Every structure is written in structure tokens, then in C-alpha cells.
Structure 1
């Protein structure tokens, strides 16, 4: 019994330590080249579809589940005004990107849209975003067809001067 309790305490301590290492940031620059899986300080919410790292970029893939709410969520970001740029493309069809300020990644009611949904055209996207308080940034991708994919790379979030 002692071994079971001790193992549980060690496992819980490991989880708390892992989360404690994810600090609030004011700059994020990520090309996803070194990721083998979604980074522990980021969150992937894919519903019944797939969101994963492949070929040094993030892939949102609908499989046979178009219309899923799929989010890639950054680590917590300090309040302020930022310039966000990213390379985003798709494999065809109707796809869109929307940005959200997220206060609690586990509570969808805390997701607040901060940039209107825009069509993904294969071009670099640049946004000016304002966060009123420390929060996570969510990239919501909507895929409207089966076997559709959206690719995200060269993510850069820097304080606006």
C-alpha cells in the first residue's frame, strides 16, 4: 500500500513540476522543427479530427470529421499588444483561421474571439492582437471537407512597438 501511495505522490509531483516549467511569455518564435509531438507548454484540441506535428510543421487534419472545432493553444502570454505572423496553407477546399484569447484552456466559455475568421489562402498571415490580461492565444482552424489539411509553420508573436 505504501508503494502505491508513494508512486501516486511521485506521479502527481511530476505533473506539477512539468506545468510549473511553462512560464508566461511575452515573445514566442517557433518553427516546429525540433518538435516530435505537441510541445508540453502548448495544447492541441482536435475533437474527432487530428492535430499533430509532422514534417517540421503543425498539421490540422479533418480525417472524416469536417466541421470539428480544432485549436492549437499557445503557452500563457503577458497582457499587451502583439504582432503575430505565421505561414499557413491548406491542401484545398474551404478552410478558415480565427484567433482567440483563452483564459482557461479547459473551459470553452472562456474562449473570446479577437480576430475574425479569415480564409486560408496559402499566404503568410499577419495580425495585430491585444490581450487585456495574461491569457493563452488559440488558433482555431475550421476544415469543411473530409481529408482536408491545414499546415502552420514559422509562428512568430512579438510585442508591437
Structure 2
């Protein structure tokens, strides 16, 4: 009986520890080098395509499903003004990136655009954003061709001083 109670306490502590690691942040600095899969504090929605961590970056891959809406969502970020920078490139073709504030990662109706979709050109992207409330950031990638890929790396979200 003591073993069962102890196992229950250890399991509950594990759940509480995992939840505590996904707290609201006031900055992000991620190069994705150590990711073997999407971090549990982030959310990936790939639809019928693929969105995964690999080759020390995040890869959005269309497979045979072009025009699929694919989203990568950060942990919750504290309200405030920020500078967001990231490296984003593709393997050719027409691709776009749009930035959202996200209330509920599992409900795309809660996504509100904060930076219009822009063509991915291989250049570093910089955004100045202002969050009125604690929210997550969502990156929507749109691929227009079969076997297209977009690569996201070196993401930095820093508070403005």
C-alpha cells in the first residue's frame, strides 16, 4: 500500500513539475539545436503536412499537401513591447510567414494576426510587437507547392527597454 501511495505522489509531482516548466515568459531565445522533437511548452499544428524539429531548426514541410495551414505556437508571453527576430528560409517556390497572437493554441479562431503574411526571402525577419495581455505567439507558414519546406531558426524575443 505504501508503494502505491508513494508512486501516486511521485506521479503527481511529475505532472506538477512538467506544468511548472511551461510558465509565462518575458523573453525567448531559441536556436532549436538541442530539440529532437517539438518542445512540450510549444504547440505544433501541421494539418496533413509535417511540422517538426530536425537539423537544428524547425521544419515546415508540405509533403503532398500544399496550402495546408501550419502553425508553430510559443509558450505564453507576458504583456509588453518586444522585438522579435528570426531566421526563416525555404527550398524555393512561393512561401509566406504570418505572425499571430494566440489565446488558445487548439482553436485557430482565437488566433489574431499581428503581422500580415509576408514572402519568405531567406532574410532575417524583425518584428516590433506590442502585446496588450499575456498571450502566445503563433507563426503560420503557407507552402504553395508539393515537397516544399520552410526552415525557422534563431528565434529571439526580447523586451524593449
Q: TM-score, normalised by structure 2?
A: 0.90
Which segments of 5 or more consecutive residues in structure 1 lack a partner in the other structure?
1-6
Q: Deviations over 1:6-48 (max 9, x none)?
A: x999867744542332010001000001111111111111000
Are the structure 2 counterparts of residues 8 and 56 from structure 1 closer, same or farther at C-alpha, using a change threshold of 3 Å? same
Are the structure 2 counterparts of residues 33 and 112 from structure 1 closer, same or farther at C-alpha, using a change threshold of 3 Å? same
Q: Deviations over 1:53-76 (max 9, x none)?
A: 111000000000011110110000
Q: Deviations over 1:115-134 (max 9, x none)?
A: 01000000000001111100
1:67 is aligned to 67
Give the Cα separation in 2 of the matches to 1:25 and 1:81.
Answer: 13
2:138 is aligned to 138
3-state DSSP of counterpart to 2:109: helix
2:57 is aligned to 57
1:29 is aligned to 29
Are the structure 2 counterparts of residues 159 and 145 from structure 1 closer, same or farther at C-alpha, using a change threshold of 3 Å? same
2:4 is aligned to none
1:48 is aligned to 48
Give the Cα separation in 1 of the matches to 2:104 and 2:13.
Answer: 22
Matched residues, number: 158
Q: Deviations over 1:125-151 (max 9, x none)?
A: 000111110000000000011000000
2:111 is aligned to 111
3-state DSSP of counterpart to 1:84: strand
Are the structure 2 counterparts of residues 146 and 22 from structure 1 closer, same or farther at C-alpha, using a change threshold of 3 Å? same
Are the structure 2 counterparts of residues 141 and 27 from structure 1 closer, same or farther at C-alpha, using a change threshold of 3 Å? same
Give the Cα separation in 1 of the matches to 2:87 and 2:21.
Answer: 28
3-state DSSP of counterpart to 1:18: helix
Deviates more, 1:13-22 or 1:139-148: 13-22
1:94 is aligned to 94
Structure 1 residue 109, shift from structure 2 partner: 1.3
Which segments of 5 or more consecutive residues in structure 2 lack a partner in the other structure?
1-6
